[in-house]
Amino acid sequence: AVVSTQSTGEDEMKVVTVTYGNNVALHDVTTFDLLRTHSLPCVVNSASLHLDQRYFVCGGEDMYVYKVSIETGRIMESYKKHFGPVHCIRYSPDGELYASGSEDGTIRLWQDSVGKTYGL
């Protein structure tokens, strides 16, 4: 299992994401209560929760990056740009971008909302 903790603000709930097998589980850090579990079409290596807690991104063995609705579990977007399994994925502190790192040796930056210029 891979565990990562994310806080969405001082007054917001702190949530931990846990990936195991083809599942992403979201737990309340304070109570350790299971909030949600979602299954994906592949083994998931890493997941990152967006600041607004409406969706998360994840990646795994099938080389795809997925954006998933927390409420419905529906895959909202998926991209296959890596040539090896995705081992890590993380949102930027402002939630505008996320980065994925792969076994193929690449790190890719993704816009959460396409169209904004970031000066990269």
* pLDDT, mean of each 10-residue run, the chain (120 residues): 57 82 94 95 96 94 97 95 96 92 96 76
The pair of three-digit structure tokens given for residue 92, joined into one six-digit string: 């930027």
**Which residues touch 85 (CB under 8 Å, ≥6 apart)?**
45, 59, 60, 61, 62, 63, 102, 103
64-94: pLDDT as tens digits: 999 999 999 999 999 999 999 999 999 998 8
